[in-house]
Amino acid sequence: MSNKLKITSKKFTNLSYLLPLSLTSYLFFKQKFPWLPGYSCPIRHATGVPCPSCFLTRSICASLGGDIFNAFKIHLFGPPLAILLIMWSILSLRRKTLLKINFKSKFFHIGFFFFLMYWFYRLIMYFSLGVKVFPDF
């Protein structure tokens, strides 16, 4: 008796282009259903100091849910990253291949620099000047 259904690992690796859509969909539904599983920042819990990406997930979820004003209040980089997630999902679906991030790109380095500068700004404003730039944690 022969097995008519042959599943090879290559068939499953070809579905990797669904990863961006899955991630974007999860973040969209996380805004609507906050009981969905997730994890808190271990650095913030261990040290009391928020890391550069603290509250970024909440901001992206708010952006995908349409609450852009609140998303910018939570984290400045949330709405632009939500747009990039949507573009990554669409391009991966159209090409049926997972688009990879070029970490050696000049744009990536410039974006990462601004990301760190924004974090330093928030830390100085919160800990030195007492301005509430982070949501309650």
**Model pLDDT for residues 59-68, shown as the tens digit of each residue:** 999 999 999 9
pLDDT in tens, 49-88: 899 999 999 999 999 999 999 999 999 999 999 999 999 9
Look at residue 8 in the predicted model and tell me its pLDDT: 55
Look at residue 12 in the predicted model and tell me its pLDDT: 53
Contact 31, 66 (CB under 8 A): no
Structure tokens at 40: 């808190």
Q: How many CA atoms lie within 13 A of 29 on its CB side?
A: 10
**Across residues 96-100, what is the average pLDDT?**
86
Contact 123, 115 (CB under 8 A): no
